[in-house]
Amino acid sequence: MIEISLKGRGGQGVVTAGELLTRAVIAKGKYAQSIPFFGGERRGAPVSSEVRISDEPISLHRRVYNPDVVTVFDTTLISLMNPLEGIKDNGILLINSDNPKKYWKNTFYLNATDIARSLGLVVAGWSVVNTAMLGALVQVTKVVEPELVEESVKETFPGKLGELNAKAIYLGWKEVKALD
């Protein structure tokens, strides 16, 4: 089983990212759970979503406390909370940054904000970075093929919005890099 923690701010698509990934994994024939964790947050407030992926049925129904992967949609959260709390020793950190720092030994990064802005994926001034981050996540973890995530996105958001988000997945997959 692989456990993933998604951290971001309300409006960046954190909860939707967990749901889209879960749908893609299930379409592959595996088992998955999406566990959103938020209250009455408003746009900009910290939000988490967690995902479990397994080849076997998942009987565990609680929050993820020791993730294999942590994705941080907004690096300002690193100074507000400890998103790396509980990460497994061989875990992966994936961050959205235009000026990446090595917060963890296995750090990957991309500028998902620029990808979202270039495609017009902006709502009320907030760049919706979830699909670019998903593309990077599937590139780094290989938990599912990016095409299945693109299909999940197009089913969820038909038309032009789905096409733009599918392109964001591809760009995130293509642009993610390891931070040495």
Sheet of strand 177-179: strand arrangement = 31-37, 46-54, 2-9, 69-72, 92-96, 107-110, 177-179
- Lookup: tokens for 153: 């996105």
pLDDT in tens, 125-151: 889 999 999 999 999 999 999 999 999
7 membership: H or E segment, kind and range: strand 2-9
pTM, two decimals, is 0.94
Domain of residue 67, CATH code: 3.40.920.10
pLDDT, tens digit, 9 for 90 and up, residues 48-91: 999 999 999 999 989 999 999 999 999 999 988 889 999 999 99
pLDDT for 107 beyond 90: yes
List, in order, residues 6 or more apart from 9 with CB less than 8 Å away: 43, 44, 45, 46, 47, 73, 74, 77, 126
User: How many structural domains comprise the chain?
Assistant: 1
- What is the Cα–Cα distance from 170 to 150, expressed in whole angstroms? 8
Spell out where 55-148 has E strands: 69-72, 92-96, 107-110, 122-123, 126-127
Which residue range(s) make up the domain with 172? 2-179
